[in-house]
Structure 1
């Protein structure tokens, strides 16, 4: 059963990565064509939600709805994956979790340090230190699945675990460092929803719809509190029951049901709405701007050095074992693929420079797209030089 679930998961990630790449490419093509004006109007298309007349009014452009509401569903799925892995998956035992956990920490710290070094002394650019610290699981797993037998199964599991822990780290970073102007009453409302979710879980209530309704109320409170609303998705997911006591799992059923919607609709929509950047009049100086350069170097060099270096040290010290059936070259190739930061990097970049005047959005996109593309190409090149097994 577990093997079939993993096969379905990996197969979906492979296809999802391809669709995600096509959506990003479409955004670049459209934004640099005669439809560029339409693209900007599309991302800023107004949307409004009213509840109880003027009691609750949410009026935002399309791109904000996508980044705040649609991505909350993505984070909800991430939360389900994190819970599954820590309850009875690859991270449920310390011996299994130690290597990807340390690797993920190294893969977050080194890119952040590289970015900070490139932008040192500049207060505003330094706000983006966490941008290159993220890994895009859909893109990275999509590539290793397309490579087939050239990548041992143990490395696919390792990459999945690193990306999931990486996502958990990104969630913590967003909560601690990208939260502004807190509203205590709304935070209190979110806390009440959290306590209600806990009570449902302890009472072993199996109706998933009740958890989702409470999650939506909590999302509204978190949105109004100043904390980023996507965190409500993760919090809700952690309370979905893992077992119904009859051999079933509401959490896993919901995870499998959400996967196609996230992989083929939500993430591609996010990519299309966020990856568009005009390349008209682009100069070398733009590519070498400290923000773009720091992100690109953090993803390309920082991820590879951080993930591989931390893993190598743990293995050499005898604190962890190298993934079975993999040599050091294959292992390094997968570590390089961790530099594909696309979705989460763009997301954090949007939070880091939100509301600031200046061309920060373009610089973030150039760095993320450049670093992710180079990491994907280099990692693929390294792995394709090894014979298929």
Structure 2
């Protein structure tokens, strides 16, 4: 029995609905993979696995594997990089690209576009960086200390801390999460500056000049309104090579690349609706219900044109973020944690590790210095009338933020790898980072659970 036009239309509607449902399911999976709590949990599991492996007979095999060199070459040119360097220098540059995208987002449409509103958490971040460093220096300036590791306890791991806050649910006000996010972003900026200024190698002038040339090319692409992200990525790869050989830590290439990615769409959004309406009429005229889709050339060409235009509605900054976020959260960071959290305690003297000034400096700097700096600066600025606490945030919430600020992992381990070359100092720093993060998470969570109550009414909107 031949199909009527109405039945054909109904069938097409069903097929379109089926495709839409598949897209919705994909979006649901994206919500799971973009969940910070899940990503933080995966990284925690990777770190725990690393500690377990490091204290088994498999440690030597795994350690040797990551020390294996990779040789990359084009023609007569070749370079060798170990798997550990590949993770810490190249893959972490992609992580820094994601950090840079988040920074640019906040500067464009987020909290950092309102300097006065962001001033309080940003200055609190300065306190949360300075006090841990002072405590570390005070404990390591004497004989046997390692003052060059002063930056290790200054970093806050935003993924871990926000993941813990999410687990606490309504006990942490939405405005508190915004306050903490702004603080952590400022903390990342300071950590990036510290890595660039204090933990590079002897600079190579030719490679620095080449790096500057890459930055000029990125600026030219942005100035000429190039909206294809592939050109920025290509120049970014060249920039990474130049910075890797220049003495500046290569991961910073990711931040530089992010700052030049266009945050605007090359589509005039206010005219898009009328354009789509015209294209819809064109598609309607070109559609032939009696023909197979392969025979509807005019229709498919017009549809492809709409698809290409709609792709450009999303700014390159957001397209790159969507492309790398899952890869970074579920591959790069867990792999980084596994490679760098391998704390081998077999044959080590626990008493010597605890007594090491590096251990005490990092642990006390993070666990005590972070809350003292964050809470102290916030209290001082509020009391002198410079700023007010955001609506919905009280001092109990600020104390919780301060305690959670001591939860450092990613940046702290990265800086520890740059700051220390003696194996015993690296071991002491990693033990202190892991212990400090666990204690900060537990103490901060317990404090929030005990000191705060669940809201009885609906949540207050975050003050803009």
Correspondence for 2:433 among 360, 363, 368: 368
After TM superposition, give the deviation of residue 169 of structure 1 in Å. 0.5
Higher-Rg structure is 2
C-alpha deviations, 1:99-122, integer Å up to 9, x for none?
111011111000000000000145
1:141-220 map, 5 Å: 141-220=162-241
TM-score between the two structures when normalised by the length of structure 1: 0.94
Q: Which residue of 2 aligns with 1:13?
A: 36
After TM superposition, give the deviation of residue 163 of structure 1 in Å. 1.0
For structure 1, the 5+ residue unaligned runs are none
Q: Do structure 1's residue 261 and structure 2's residue 318 form an aligned pair?
A: no
Structure 2 Cα separation of the partners of residues 328 and 47 of structure 1: 52
Q: Which residue of 2 aligns with 1:51?
A: 74
Correspondence for 2:447 among 372, 382, 385: 382
Q: Which residue of 2 aligns with 1:277?
A: 343
Correspondence for 2:389 among 304, 322, 327: 322
Q: Which residue of 2 aligns with 1:289?
A: 356
What is the SS of the residue equivalent to 2:349?
A: coil
Structure 2 Cα separation of the partners of residues 97 and 81 of structure 1: 15
Q: Judge conservation of contact 1:330–1:382 (CA < 8 Å) in 2.
A: no
Task: Summarize the Cα distance change of 1:283–1:381 in structure 2 as closer, same or farther, 3 Å threshold.
Answer: same
1:121-160 map, 5 Å: 121=142, 125-160=146-181
Runs of 4+ in 1 over 4 A off after TM superposition: 7-11
The RMSD of aligned alpha carbons is 1.8
TM-score between the two structures when normalised by the length of structure 2: 0.79
Q: Do structure 1's residue 346 and structure 2's residue 413 form an aligned pair?
A: yes
What is the SS of the residue equivalent to 2:342?
A: coil
After TM superposition, give the deviation of residue 10 of structure 1 in Å. 11
Structure 1 Cα separation of the partners of residues 230 and 145 of structure 2: 42
Q: Which residue of 2 aligns with 1:110?
A: 131
Q: Judge conservation of contact 1:72–1:229 (CA < 8 Å) in 2.
A: yes
For structure 2, the 5+ residue unaligned runs are 1-26, 270-313, 456-464
What is the SS of the residue equivalent to 1:368?
A: helix
Q: Which residue of 1 aligns with 2:50?
A: 27
Q: Judge conservation of contact 1:133–1:345 (CA < 8 Å) in 2.
A: yes
Deviates more, 1:194-203 or 1:40-49: 40-49
After TM superposition, give the deviation of residue 285 of structure 1 in Å. 2.6
After TM superposition, give the deviation of residue 9 of structure 1 in Å. 10
Structure 2 Cα separation of the partners of residues 138 and 315 of structure 1: 27
What is the SS of the residue equivalent to 1:336?
A: helix
Q: Judge conservation of contact 2:47–2:342 (CA < 8 Å) in 1.
A: yes
Structure 2 Cα separation of the partners of residues 164 and 52 of structure 1: 42
Q: Do structure 1's residue 337 and structure 2's residue 404 form an aligned pair?
A: yes
Q: Which residue of 1 aligns with 2:61?
A: 38
